[in-house]
Amino acid sequence: MDAIIKPTGLRTGSTLTEIVRVNGLRKVYEGKQRVVAVDGIDLAVREGELYGLLGPNGAGKTTTISVCTTRVLPSAGSVCLDGVDVVASPALARRSMGIVPQYNTLDRACTVYENIFFHCLYFGFSRNDARERTAQLLEQFHLSDRASAYPAQLSGGLAQRLQIARAISHRPRVLFLDEPSAGLDPQSRIAMWDAVRALRDEGITVVLTTHYMEEADALCDRVAIVDHGKILVEDTPAALKSSVGAQKIYALELDNYEDAPQLAGQIRELQGVFEVEPTPTGLRIFAGSADGLLPEIVRASNPYGLRDLTVTETTLETVFIRLTGRDLRE
C-alpha cells in the first residue's frame, strides 16, 4: 500500500549514507542582467541529517534548492538525490523529495484536508490510503480541528505546518525547506522547529535554507555558510563557532570614528584581544573571555567619543562576519 516507487535505475555509485550529492553546481540567469546565482557548489548530505544552507539575501540558497527539487535547470554541475540524477530523471527524483518553497503554495480553493488528500492521490495513493494518510498527518501536525478550514483562514504558523505535512505526505526520503520560518512569530517558529526535529527523528533527511543564524544553530546537524553563490565553510554549528577562536565580540560606536585606526592599535595591545577591525562607525573587537577586558576597552575608547558598546557571544553570525566582513542582514 505504500505508494512510493523506490528509485532503482540510474544509481550513480553514491554511498549508502549519502542521500543528496551536489557536484560543481552553477546557475547563471541570463537576461538583461546576467546573474551568477550559484557559482560552484559541492555538498553532500547524509541520510537522516538535518542540513542547513545559511546565508544572506541573494546568496543563492533558493536557486540551489530549486535545482535540487527540479524547478530550475543548472547551467553546469549535477545533483543526485537518493542516487537519481535530478536533471536526467526529474519525475523519479521527485518521488524521493518533499518540498516546502519559500512562499506559500497551498491551494487556496481547497480545505486543509483536501490540500493533503489530493497531494496523496497525485502521488498514486488509493483513495483509502490517501484518507488514512491525511488523517494521520492532520493528527501529527495538530491540524485535525482545522481540517475543513481554508488556507486563508490559517495563521502563518499553521499554514507552514500544513505545507510541511503536505510535503511529506508521500513519504519522501528528503524534505527541502526553503526559509521555513520566514515571517513566523517567535512562538510559531519554535513550534515549527519541533515539527522539523520530529521529522528528523522519523528518519527523514531535511535540507533547509535560512538567513536566521539562531535557526541554523538550533536545528541543524551541519551548516554550510553560503555567500555570492559559494559555500564559504561547512561544519557542525559548534565547530563553526569554535573556529572563530574568540568567545566574545565587542562592537564599538565612536563619535570620532575617523580616528578608529589609532584606537585599534591601542586595543590590539590589550590582553585577551585577538583581532580588531574597523566598521563604518567604529570598531569590532574579537576577544577571549578574559575578565576585566570590558573596562579597559571603555577606558581606551572614551577619548574617541565612545557612543555605544555591545558585547555578544560568538554565534554563527560571528563566523559569517569573520568570513565576509559583513553582517548577515546587511
CB of 71 to Mg ion, least distance (A): 12
Q: Give 57 or 187: the residue with its C-beta nearer to ligand ATP.
A: 57
Give dist(CA 315, CA 242) in Å, integer.
9
Site for Mg ion in 95-114 (CB under 5 A): 102
Partner from ligand ATP, Mg ion, none binding residue 128, C-beta < 5-8 Å depending on class: none
Q: Give 35 or 110: the residue with its C-beta nearer to ligand ATP.
A: 35
CB of 182 to Mg ion, least distance (A): 9
Give dist(CA 74, CA 25) in Å, integer.
7
Choose, by CB under 5 A, the member of 38, 41, 62, 138 that binds Mg ion.
62
Give dist(CA 296, CA 273) in Å, integer.
11
Report the sign of the C-alpha dihedral through residues 243, 246, 251, 256, in that order.
Answer: negative
Examine residue 63 and tell whether it contacts Mg ion (CB under 5 A). no
Q: With contacts defined by CB under 5 A, name the span among 55-63, 122-130, 134-142, 256-264 that binds Mg ion.
A: 55-63
* Residue position matching grid coordinates 546576467: 34
CB of 303 to ligand ATP, least distance (A): 41
Give dist(CA 164, CA 248) in Å, integer.
37
Partner from ligand ATP, Mg ion, none binding residue 58, C-beta < 5-8 Å depending on class: ligand ATP
Residues that bind ligand ATP (CB under 6 A): 29, 31, 35, 37, 55, 57-63, 102, 211
Q: Give 57 or 128: the residue with its C-beta nearer to ligand ATP.
A: 57
DSSP strand pairing (35-46 vs 230-235): unpaired
Give dist(CA 161, CA 182) in Å, integer.
13
Please name which of 239, 231, 158 lies closest in space to residue 192, comparing C-alpha atoms. 158
Partner from Mg ion, ligand ATP, none binding residue 29, C-beta < 5-8 Å depending on class: ligand ATP
Q: Give 74 or 83: the residue with its C-beta nearer to ligand ATP.
A: 74
Partner from ligand ATP, Mg ion, none binding residue 55, C-beta < 5-8 Å depending on class: ligand ATP
Specify whether the CB–CB gap between 224 and 208 falls below 8 A. no
Examine residue 64 and tell whether it contacts Mg ion (CB under 5 A). no
CB of 210 to ligand ATP, least distance (A): 9
Specify whether the CB–CB gap between 111 and 146 falls below 8 A. no
Say how many residues make up the chain: 330
CB of 245 to ligand ATP, least distance (A): 27
**Amino acid at the residue 20:** V
Site for Mg ion in 218-277 (CB under 5 A): none
Q: Give 61 or 119: the residue with its C-beta nearer to Mg ion.
A: 61
How many helices and strands (H and E) does the chain possess? 11, 14
326 C-beta neighbours (distance < 10 Å), count: 11
